[in-house]
A = this chain, B = another copy of it.
Amino acid sequence: MSANPLLAITMGDVNGIGPEILAKALARPEPWAVCEPVILGDKTAYDQARRFALHAPEAVAISDLTHWQPRQGQVALMDAGHAGPLGRPGALDAEAGSAAVAWIVHAARLAKDGVVAGMVTCPINKEGIALAGCPHAGHTSLIAEVTGAADYRMCLFTDTMRIVHITAHLSLRDAVAAVKRDRILESIRIGHDALNRIQTPQQRIAVAGLNPHAGENGQFGREEIEEIRPAVAQARAEGIDCSGPWPPDTVFKRMRDGEFEMVIAMYHDQGHIPLKLIAMDEGVNVTLGIPIVRTSVDHGTAYDIAGKGIAREHSLCAAIRLAAQLSQRQGVRA
């Protein structure tokens, strides 16, 4: 075994760009410098995708990691009993959805059992997993269930912008109602723990307001006064370097300009709008607050360009790098 952490990388929907970005990412030296990857996916799909990546390693099918000895030019691949289906780029397919779910569940269990240090996920198709009878809307709630997580935080990270959302897929009306002191405080703690693990030189956390101009002293909205400020005060009392609530329309620019390492966002789009505008390709989705390390590409299956060799592997490379960073000090708080 190498000294680098073992990371399980799920292939996602075989009909999307997952196999291609996997082959392209593993053809690069960067992932190998920070981790020992293990693919959870279909061998045929991976082998076919290698045509787009000259230096992609050969996949060696294994059924468990006990006897796996990494060799130069090889990567371990497990299919968790779900070989296939044959990839049909761009096709919505229940079998593809079913296989994707099996790989995710297996990877999450390996991570939970400590066999791997973390997991990285390629995109799935929501309709595909629904056709396969999976009741989850996406990766995150499925992984939370497998790992027994009571709660989690959806986050978006780039090299310079790190955003922790206190809620994710709620209607904006419900998201506003969820802006509560305890939830904000726990988000700050979770974010602070992640900064600790990544070992950023500084760990300045900015907490965004909810309302325009952060409410202007209660003129439009009182959540800043009643919920956010007390949460910031408590976090500071715990020794966390955090500030706010800040006006939402400038706090992300301030982070990008180097004033903060992280912003706690009060709802999904408050963080997604700035991040997607600036970092379409290098964004990484991170699930914090669960007992395993899990990162994901920040894009979908891209059925429209699947099988064409033009998908970009940058987000996957960034997701692998971040998972490796988070793995290094996993357990510091968990």
Enumerate chain A interface residues (CB-CB to B < 8 A). 137, 168-174, 176, 210-213, 215-216, 219-223, 248-250, 252-253, 256, 267-270, 272-274, 276-278, 280
Contacts and interface: CB of A to CB of B under 8 A. Distances in A.
A300 to B, nearest CB: 11
Contact of A215 (B171, B212, B215, B277): B171
Task: Report whether over half of chain A's contact residues are helix, strand or loop; otherwise say mixed.
Answer: helix
A212 B278 contact: no
Contact of A272 (B172, B212, B221): B212
Contacts of A213: 169
The copy count of this chain in the complex is 2
Of A216, A223, A269, which is in contact with the most chain B CB atoms at under 10 Å from its CB? A269
B248 A277 contact: no
A164 B276 CA distance: 20
Given A176-B172, A221-B171, A278-B277, A269 B253 contact: no
Contacts of A280: 253
B270 A253 contact: no
A135 to B, nearest CB: 13
Given A212-B272, A248-B272, A253-B280, 17 more contacts: A137-B219, A170-B220, A171-B221, A171-B222, A172-B212, A173-B173, A174-B220, A212-B269, A248-B269, A249-B268, A249-B272, A249-B273, A270-B273, A273-B273, A273-B274, A274-B277, A277-B277
Contacts of A215: 171
A221 B273 contact: no
A256 to B, nearest CB: 7
B276 A253 contact: yes
A65 B137 CA distance: 65
Contacts of A278: 277
B171 A211 contact: yes
Nearest to A276: B249
B273 A252 contact: yes
Contacts of A272: 212, 248-249
Nearest to A168: B212
Contacts of A249: 268-269, 272-273, 276
Given A248-B269, A277-B274, A169 B256 contact: no
Nearest to A221: B171
Contacts of A169: 212-213, 216, 219-220
A142 B225 CA distance: 28
B273 A172 contact: no
A28 to B, nearest CB: 26
